[in-house]
């Protein structure tokens, strides 16, 4: 298994020379963040990332993410341009040695939380989602503020997107995803890249917007849309574990059998009865995810793909990008490495 760490480029307060000091950390997961969604990534920017990472003794083989333009999700006629750009970005990344691209198909909002600074009993802080709070919010109101959503939209743009999605059913979104996959997967196969869709986070509808990558039935439908092994998943234990009706261990076992798991996000959460949750330390006893069981399933299938410790708490006085501090993710990586090594015996 290949351990990796997400890094946000030159704007990230965590330097690569710190990340390389985490035991068994061999890869960096990043992207070109300066280009608007849907546009071409300059080859020189991709090469600069690659050289900087390799100069610090690690590999650049996973991109997270190449965002999907809303016109593709909406099925607009203008999607053709953005899909062609997406294909070219796949080719350019493959040329630089990238083998896996993580992406998502969530309308409007990416990962969503109601608190980025929830204070835990031990004094650390973490990300949380309170469904009672989110149900009371109106994303189109003038005072709307929600941690974790894409703040690149103005109020007018956000209103226009909500209007556009009013006529989009879940089946429409599935059709648009199928169209997108059938366009890009042949290119991915041609250049040796695996596409790994990330589950919706959280894995259920918010604000009335359709969300479709949510549970086992959704993944089985995804695999039928395009039966290529290159059409795979980023298996996120935290996202999929945020539904009480998801048996993440059976799901992981099945998708590994099908050869569809290309990337692992290992994150622990403490799940409540109503599917609200707090993100916790990676160690199993602090949350609802049995990390030993997760890694044992990976070991049983001789998983040789990529894994990264996902969101961490803020500990030891660290201030930084919420969920993406150094210390707790490094602790998480070490914890996961320890489990992985012990499973050899």
- The pLDDT tens digits for 17-52 are 999 999 999 999 999 999 999 999 999 999 999 999
Choosing from 71, 303, 311, 328, which is the catalytic residue?
311
**Phi, psi torsion values for 270, nearest 5 degrees:** -100, 105
Residue 141's pLDDT is: 74
User: What confidence tens digit (pLDDT) does each residue in 194-235 have?
Assistant: 999 999 999 998 888 999 999 999 999 999 999 999 999 999
Distance, in Å, from the CA atom of 311 to the CA atom of 115, rounded to the nearest integer, reads 14
Catalytic residue list contains 310: yes
Asked if 324 is an active-site residue, the reply is: yes
pLDDT digits (tens, 9 = 90+) for 106-149: 998 888 898 999 999 999 999 999 998 888 877 777 665 555 55
**Catalytic annotation, pick one of 310, 327, 328, 335:** 310
Q: What was the pLDDT predicted at 146?
A: 59
Residue 272 annotated to the active site: no
Examine the residue annotation and report whether 69 is marked as an active-site residue of this protein.
no
Count Cβ atoms within 10 A of the Cβ of residue 10 and give its class: 0-12 exposed, 13-18 middle, 19 or more buried: exposed
pLDDT for residue 319 is more than 70: yes
Q: How far apart are CA 116 and CA 313, in angstroms?
A: 10
Q: Model pTM?
A: 0.95
How does pLDDT run across 43-96, given as a tens digit for each residue? 999 999 999 999 999 999 999 999 999 999 999 999 999 999 999 999 999 999
């Amino acid at each position: 298994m290949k351990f990796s760490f997400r890094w946000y480029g030159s704007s990230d307060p965590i330097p690569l020379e710190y990340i390389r000091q985490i035991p068994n950390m061999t890869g960096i997961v990043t992207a070109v963040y300066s280009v608007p969604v849907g546009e071409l990534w300059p080859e020189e920017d991709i090469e600069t990332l690659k050289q900087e990472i390799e100069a610090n003794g690690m590999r650049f083989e996973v991109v997270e993410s190449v965002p999907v333009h809303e016109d593709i999700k909406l099925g607009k006629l203008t999607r053709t341009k953005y899909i062609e750009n997406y294909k070219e970005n796949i080719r350019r990344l493959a040329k630089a040695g990238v083998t896996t691209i993580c992406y998502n198909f969530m309308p409007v909002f990416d990962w969503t939380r109601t608190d980025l600074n929830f204070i835990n009993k031990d004094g650390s802080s973490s990300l949380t989602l309170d469904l009672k709070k989110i149900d009371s919010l109106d994303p189109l109101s003038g005072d709307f503020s929600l941690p974790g959503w894409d703040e690149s939209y103005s109020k007018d743009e956000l209103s226009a997107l909500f209007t556009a999605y009013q006529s989009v059913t879940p089946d429409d979104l599935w059709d648009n995803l199928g169209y997108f996959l059938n366009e890009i997967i042949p290119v991915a196969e041609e250049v040796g890249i695996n596409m790994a869709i990330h589950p919706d986070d959280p894995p259920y509808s918010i604000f009335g917007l359709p969300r479709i990558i949510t549970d086992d039935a959704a993944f089985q439908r995804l695999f039928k849309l395009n039966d290529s092994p290159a059409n795979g998943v980023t298996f996120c234990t935290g996202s999929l574990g945020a539904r009480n009706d998801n048996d993440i261990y059976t799901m992981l076992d099945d998708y590994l059998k099908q050869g569809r798991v290309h990337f692992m996000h290992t994150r622990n959460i403490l799940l409540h009865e109503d599917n609200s949750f707090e993100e916790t330390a990676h160690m199993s006893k602090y949350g609802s995810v049995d990390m030993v069981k997760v890694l044992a399933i990976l070991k049983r299938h001789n998983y040789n793909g990529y894994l990264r410790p996902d969101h961490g708490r803020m500990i030891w006085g660290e201030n930084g990008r919420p969920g993406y501090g150094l210390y707790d993710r490094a602790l998480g990586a070490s914890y996961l490495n320890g489990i992985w090594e012990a499973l050899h015996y």
